[in-house]
DNA sequence: ATGGTAGTCGAACTA
């Protein structure tokens, strides 16, 4: 089984590229972030034409998360938010979608950006991560054998080597953000991709020729529970997806699991 | 010297 995460930065603008990625890699489940549309605006037909089904969760032109999965799979226990997911300006935004595929519990997550160290959005970001970790810890306590993957755009660079120039950033690298990320490791999750694919960014800003200069960041992750980590047999960061016409500013992160 | 990217929506906001 192959699973992947990708911040597509508008699925309507990116549909041809997402489709060719699915055809090329044949991933079973793709968790998307920043679909930037409501479910009724999602380009379902493109996905159905190549044998995939879609579950989309979007409230407006911002944020939005979704799953595309091979049509023969039957997702179970769908959730459009995690337990006690915080709201921003009284709205629980479309930043999380969870479902179980072939017994593997998968969450596609778009963690709030933060905007600035003293911005209310940063408090929102930290609370989002804190509650996500608490909810996940609770599930793992109930069922230590749970095969779980939290995948998505975490908007955090956990290590200094995850940023091309530390001096240019305040958010994404701050101590509170990094502690919030480490909390997931403390409850037993592992960033499995890091060992298999070291020294590879997942995001390059559109501005200032960042991609040609390899001025990027590693902020997209697949965090696996102990039971699922045992099944990881391969991983890739699809750097080539940043090339060519009309790329997203993020590339897919792929995890291969044994059967 | 300025604006320098991309998306949504149709001015300004988000990243």
Q: How many domains does chain A have?
A: 1
Task: Give per-residue pLDDT as tens, A154-171.
Answer: 999 999 999 999 999 999
Q: Which helix (H) or strand (E) holds A4?
A: strand A2-7
3-state secondary structure of A159: coil
| Residue A155 annotated as binding site | yes
From A46, A57, A69, A110, the catalytic residue: A110
- Of all nucleotides, the one whose C1′ comes closest to residue A60's CA is B8
| Residue A113 annotated as binding site | no
Judge whether A110 counts as a catalytic residue.
yes
Task: Give per-residue pLDDT as tens, A173-206.
Answer: 999 999 999 999 999 999 999 999 999 999 999 9
The answer to whether the CB of A3 falls within 8 A of the CB of A104 is yes
Task: Give per-residue pLDDT as tens, A119-163.
Answer: 999 999 999 999 999 999 999 999 999 999 999 999 999 999 999
Question: For residue A147, what is the domain's CATH number?
Answer: 3.60.10.10
Q: Supply the pTM of this predicted model.
A: 0.97
Q: Which domain holds residue A175?
A: 2-257
Pairing between strand A190-191 and A65-70?
unpaired
């Amino acid at each position: 089984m192959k699973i992947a995460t990708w911040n597509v930065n508008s699925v309507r603008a990116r549909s041809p590229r997402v489709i060719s990625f699915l055809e090329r890699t044949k991933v079973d489940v793709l968790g998307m972030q920043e679909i930037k549309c409501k479910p009724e605006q999602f380009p379902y037909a493109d996905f159905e034409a190549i044998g995939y089904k879609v579950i989309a969760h979007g409230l407006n032109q911002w944020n939005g998360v979704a799953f595309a999965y091979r049509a023969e799979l039957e997702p179970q226990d769908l959730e459009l938010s995690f337990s006690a997911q915080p709201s921003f300006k009284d709205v629980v935004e479309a930043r999380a979608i969870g479902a179980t595929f072939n017994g593997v519990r998968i969450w596609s997550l778009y963690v709030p950006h933060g905007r600035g160290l003293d911005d209310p959005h940063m408090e929102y970001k930290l609370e989002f991560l804190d509650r996500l970790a608490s909810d996940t810890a609770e599930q793992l306590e109930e069922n230590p054998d749970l095969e779980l993957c939290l995948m998505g755009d975490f908007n955090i660079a956990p290590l200094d080597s995850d940023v091309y120039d530390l001096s240019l950033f305040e958010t994404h690298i701050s101590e509170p953000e990094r502690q919030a990320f480490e909390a997931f490791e403390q409850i037993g999750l592992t960033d499995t991709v890091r060992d298999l694919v070291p020294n590879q960014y997942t995001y390059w800003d559109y501005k200032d020729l960042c991609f040609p200069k390899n001025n990027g960041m590693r902020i997209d992750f697949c965090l696996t529970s102990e039971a699922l980590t045992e099944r990881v047999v391969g991983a890739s960061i699809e750097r080539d997806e940043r090339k060519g016409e009309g790329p997203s500013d993020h590339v897919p992160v792929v995890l291969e699991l044994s059967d």
